[in-house]
Every structure is written in structure tokens, then in C-alpha cells.
Structure 1
């Protein structure tokens, strides 16, 4: 029988990822993801099929001077099920890079699975640009 994580455990796992991202803490950030996690980011041309692929992309960003300067999570929803959970939220991120500062407002979903030791690891992350009211009704 699969364990169903609690709401608070899911929030703790999500917050650990968000906090590490906010700090541009590479090691802590990627520790929240399973090696076979997949990633879909709207600015990227293709899905990333492993944590290693994302780590390589991230390393390129860092080498280019990229870093997160702030990250705020709002409109949070936790949905649990036996063996895992889905966390979704709206995320406001500000970064600095060689091109200068920039800010983004995006929607994100993170799918977690319960490990053999009872811990949660993210197995999928999907980042999308939010639609405006006009786009949603068109």
C-alpha cells in the first residue's frame, strides 16, 4: 500500500525547493529532484528528460552570471494521493544576469513521489506563463 503524504509534508518539500531556488543554491535545489525527473519550461525549446539535463542548463546560466534575486510563491494548492502529490502555485521571480535584471510571473506545478524512506522527491516540474483574462476568454 502506498503512503499518502500530508499537506504539511508536501509544503515542506515544495518550500525546500523554492528556498534553494531563491538562494541560487545549486546543491540544495537539485537535491529536491529525483535523478529521472523531467522538466517542462515554457522558455525552453524542448522538455528536459532528466535532472542531469536541467543541471547542465542551470550550470550554463550560472556561468553566464545568472542568479535569483527574489522568488515569492502565492496561490498555492496541494493535492495529495497515495504515493505522491501535486503542488501548484504562482511564482514571482526576479533574476540578475549578464543582460541585467529581469522579473517573471509564472505558474508552476511540481509532482512529488514518496520514496522508500517516506521522503518526497520531485519527479516532474512544469513552468508556464500565466494567461491574461483576455487570453483566457478568447
Structure 2
């Protein structure tokens, strides 16, 4: 396995960890996959980008309203390695607790230099 293959494998493992954490509905587990300075871009928020604290507040608001994830699946995954950064694109299919099914595209940027595993530094979700 070449170093690039190993790096891509690490990036996809980090994506798997992120998706599983999202599906677990555990705030600390999910945000534990993210660097403290990470930024998040969503199609349905007025802000161009949210910081971790802003997203955490949004997350807690959703949860207080009964929002939860029942299932989350990542497909059509692609990895681009640029230095110590992995840019991962994929389709994410999410089923919410109320039966709503979402099919979205997402780009997740990981810092590969963080230890013990890569951390999210940017996440961009689109319909």
C-alpha cells in the first residue's frame, strides 16, 4: 500500500467515525471528531459558516425539539489529499427519528496531522 493509499484509508476511517458519531446522537462524540476551530456550512442557516460553539447551540436546540438521527449512511466517497489535508466528498443519506429521509452531498475537510486521528476542520453540506 502506497503512502497515499494509507492516507486515504485514514481519511475514510475518520469519515466513518464522524458519520457513526452523528448517527449516535451523542453531541460530545460527534463534536469530538472536530477541531475546536472547525467551520460548518449548511444550506438552511443564514450564516455563511458556523463555528463549533454555534453549531453546538444549534444541535442542542434541535435535540430539545425532539430531533434525532435513526440512521446515517455514507456512499459515493472520494478522497483528495493535499499535503496534511484530506478533502472527502460523499453522499450522505440520513433517516431522522420522525421518518424524514434526507439525501445530501457533503464535503468534509480533515487535518491529517492531528493525533490520534484526523479531525474535521471544515464541513459543507448541500442538498
TM-score by length of structure 1 reads: 0.83
Match status 1:108 vs 2:106: yes
- Aligned match of 1:59: 60
Q: For 1:6, what is the secondary structure of its paired residue?
A: helix
Q: Kindly tell me the number of residue pairs found equivalent between the two proteins.
A: 124
- Aligned match of 2:11: 10
Q: For 1:72, what is the secondary structure of its paired residue?
A: strand
- Aligned match of 1:20: 21
Contact 1:38/1:47 (8 A) holds in 2 = no
Match status 1:85 vs 2:83: no
Q: For 2:49, what is the secondary structure of its paired residue?
A: coil
Contact 2:91/2:104 (8 A) holds in 1 = yes
TM-score by length of structure 2 reads: 0.89
Whole-angstrom distance in 1 between the partners of 2:76 and 2:114: 30
Whole-angstrom distance in 2 between the partners of 1:116 and 1:37: 13
In angstroms, what is the RMSD of aligned CA positions?
1.8
Whole-angstrom distance in 2 between the partners of 1:65 and 1:14: 26
Gaps of 5+ in 1: 130-138
Contact 2:11/2:112 (8 A) holds in 1 = no
Mean CA deviation greater in 6-15 or 41-50: 41-50
Gaps of 5+ in 2: none
Query: CA-to-partner distance for each residue in 1:100-129, whole Å, 9 max, x for gaps?
Result: 331110000001113354631111000001
Contact 1:95/1:102 (8 A) holds in 2 = yes
Q: Which has the larger radius of gyration?
A: 1
